[in-house]
Structure 1
Amino acid sequence: MDATGTLDEALQRLHSSGPERLGRLTNHAPMAVEALAAHGQGRSVHRWLDSYARKLEEFPSGVEPVTDANWRSALGDPRRAADWIGYFEREIAERPWREVLTQWWPRLLPGMYGGSTHPVIRVGHAVRTLLAGESTEPRLAELAHGLGYWAARHRPLADLGLLPGADSAAAALDAVTPIAARDGGFPARLGRVTGLPVWAATVTDPSEARRRLTELVRAATHRYATHGHGEETMLVHAATAPNAVLRTLPALPHALWVPSLRAAWTASAAVTAMYAPDAPVAYAAPGTFTPEEVFERALVHGDEHVIKLTDTALDVGDGPALAATLRSIELSEPLG
């Protein structure tokens, strides 16, 4: 994946920074540099980081150590991000990382909507790296940072009403009703989501859960091409959040695959409800491009969400997914 060690160098560089800036905006650098390294762009990692560095803040101060005895009181408290990261660093140093992930995944899964779904996305990138290569210290530390950020931003949803759905993921996303008041940030909009269409609710087989999750990632990625203008940044997460869950499945016991599908659907559908445009627009890609060419275009553009959507689109691997990437490049502001 990254034989030169560039990814490890970048992660070490980033672990002196906090998971957020300005008290609410996510640090996307660890996710973006992992995507660059995964697609053979290690030579560009540090140059991209130099451009992104102005968006980084110092690692936050701790409040009180999180322990096995007090973790419930600290769950969902963003002031405790440093405490949570320290907790997971200790846990992963003492036990195999898969064991720690398996223990905490079902605890964290109900709250994957906090932090605009970025924490689970960061975990998905970290797990992909660990599954693909050596479990180096920086890569294990990155998993600890991702899990710690998730625990600090943990936010469950209130009980949602079950609305009529559809058989396919694409049709179920089309059935999502946009929230009435589409103003304010992610937390405010999330609080207005009261019901979502039913999809894959009867799935009980882990293999079918994985197939359905793959279908959801493909449908949400394709949909960006025609609906991304609703909010060019936030609608990226309708695809990248479920893809993070999909990437994590191989590291989890089969018993956790079905609840993972259900949480991923809720996240993708909720983001769709919060940011969907009034109407779709037709979109045709301006020419035919290879996956490598598309990723090069995303790298030149530089925006972190464009890079992450491109990374997911290459996982999907078909023409409509590449078209969604090109659409995101058109809609998004380049990294300055």
Structure 2
Amino acid sequence: MGTQGYADAVGEALQRLEGLGYERGTNGDLANHGPMGAEALAVLGFGEAVSSWVEGYKQAMPHHDPPAPRFEIDPSDESSWREALGQFHRAGDWERLFWRELREDPWQRVLERWWPRLLPGLMAGLTHGLIRTAHATRSVAAAEPPSDLALTELARGLAYWAARYTGLPGDARLIGKHRPAEAVARLPRPESEGVITPPMAAERLRRVRLQDDEEFPGYFDALDDIAPNSAQWLLSEMTSTFAGVYLAHPEILPIPLIHGVTAPAAIRLVLPYLPSEQHGPTVATMWQVHVALLMAFTSDASPERRSLDTARAMDLPSGPQLLVGAMEHGDEHVIKFAEACQREYALRPDPRYPAAAFAAQQRIAVLGR
């Protein structure tokens, strides 16, 4: 591991990434992972590798230009900001709003104010609005006062979440009788459509959002299936269960189900800065996203029941070797997944975390950025 410290590595990365827009690729809807991947590398202790990783990331795929602000969003006028939710052409307006608020109020107060407003759209960018916000929050919280670059990155995380805000039907509540692993096992899955290609997955997600209960039976019942418990315990249940879900489905596109772990792990980074009354609704909404992910990407739950045995039987590298492998692999999803799994494993030593992180290194192409 290198000698460059976390703050210097993240600061240099944000400077190098300054000119990139929110998304990349020919379809324009792949999230910019640069700040998230660089921050994860730095927190893992690979500070010396961050600058070269950033330059490689920038060259792997063209990014779109940063959005320019056009019209003012009035945060005190609910009709003004609600109208702009989910309007990606307003991303520049959202960034300007959050940039201003983060310089007028403490960042914790801005998070507290906007979190419940953005929470129903947690699926934004396949949860990348949340995840980018969480990586930025960790960076902002690491220094007092936070740097201007760190605050700008937090503004962009929140802006991406708001601009790609994606709601799901129904309201999830922690009023059920089952722990997350049991609820996942109980959830009916749609019939197989063969190998799910990216366009098919996008279409299934769209149909989940439209919510024909005949096509996706059990969706609404599942929203109330989770029993109340502490947010921290539920997050560990979610991340360990979804590490097993990822491990159990090598036939599925190798990236989307990663977010079943990285999204709740990202929530854990932010919870200390939110009022306790926001914790329960946050975890409930995360479960709603999990239900949608399972219905969009999986058709057979039976391999998931064997995931713990599968993980125990795997010949895995040591923890440090696994992290070095992720860094050398270089894909941003592999890096972020390894960091999240390591962090969650430290709280609950479940073998599905390292097994899933190792599986991602095998399944995701080295140049799959």
What TM-score do you get using the length of structure 2 for normalisation?
0.83
Aligned-partner residue type, residue 134 of structure 2:
G
User: Aligned pair in 2 of structure 1 residues 272, 325: CA closer, same or farther (>3 Å)?
Assistant: same
Q: CA deviation at 1:286?
A: 5.1
Match of 1:298 in 2: 326
Moved more, 284-293 or 13-22: 284-293
Alpha-carbon distance in 1 for matches of 2:202, 2:253: 15
Match of 1:192 in 2: 207
Alpha-carbon distance in 2 for matches of 1:129, 1:4: 8
How do 1:1-336 and structure 2 match up within 5 A?
A: 2-3=5-6, 5-21=8-24, 22-54=27-59, 55=61, 56-68=63-75, 69=77, 70-134=80-144, 135-159=146-170, 167-180=178-191, 184=199, 187-193=202-208, 194=211, 195=219, 197-198=222-223, 201-203=226-228, 208-276=230-298, 278=300, 280=303, 283-284=310-311, 287-317=315-345, 318=349, 319-335=351-367
SS, match of residue 229 in structure 1: coil
User: Aligned pair in 2 of structure 1 residues 39, 199: CA closer, same or farther (>3 Å)?
Assistant: farther
1:111/1:156 contact within 8 Å kept = yes
Q: CA deviation at 1:12?
A: 2.3
- Aligned residues between the structures: 332
SS, match of residue 251 in structure 2: helix
User: Aligned pair in 2 of structure 1 residues 228, 97: CA closer, same or farther (>3 Å)?
Assistant: farther
SS, match of residue 181 in structure 2: helix
Alpha-carbon distance in 2 for matches of 1:161, 1:101: 22
Alpha-carbon distance in 1 for matches of 2:154, 2:135: 9
Alpha-carbon distance in 2 for matches of 1:5, 1:185: 42
1:228/1:235 contact within 8 Å kept = no
Aligned-partner residue type, residue 188 of structure 1:
E
Aligned-partner residue type, residue 140 of structure 1:
L
Aligned-partner residue type, residue 267 of structure 1:
V
Gaps of at least 5 residues in structure 2 are: 212-218
1:242/1:267 contact within 8 Å kept = no
Q: CA deviation at 1:265?
A: 0.9
Q: CA deviation at 1:304?
A: 1.4
Q: CA deviation at 1:153?
A: 0.6
User: Aligned pair in 2 of structure 1 residues 305, 4: CA closer, same or farther (>3 Å)?
Assistant: closer
1:178/1:275 contact within 8 Å kept = no
Alpha-carbon distance in 2 for matches of 1:198, 1:103: 25
Alpha-carbon distance in 2 for matches of 1:314, 1:23: 31
Gaps of at least 5 residues in structure 1 are: none
Aligned-partner residue type, residue 23 of structure 1:
G
Among the aligned pairs, what percent are the same residue? Answer: 34
Alpha-carbon distance in 2 for matches of 1:117, 1:128: 17
Aligned-partner residue type, residue 291 of structure 2:
A
Alpha-carbon distance in 1 for matches of 2:128, 2:99: 19
Q: CA deviation at 1:63?
A: 2.6
1:302/1:334 contact within 8 Å kept = yes
Moved more, 241-250 or 14-23: 14-23
Q: CA deviation at 1:85?
A: 0.9
Q: CA deviation at 1:253?
A: 0.5
What TM-score do you get using the length of structure 1 for normalisation?
0.90
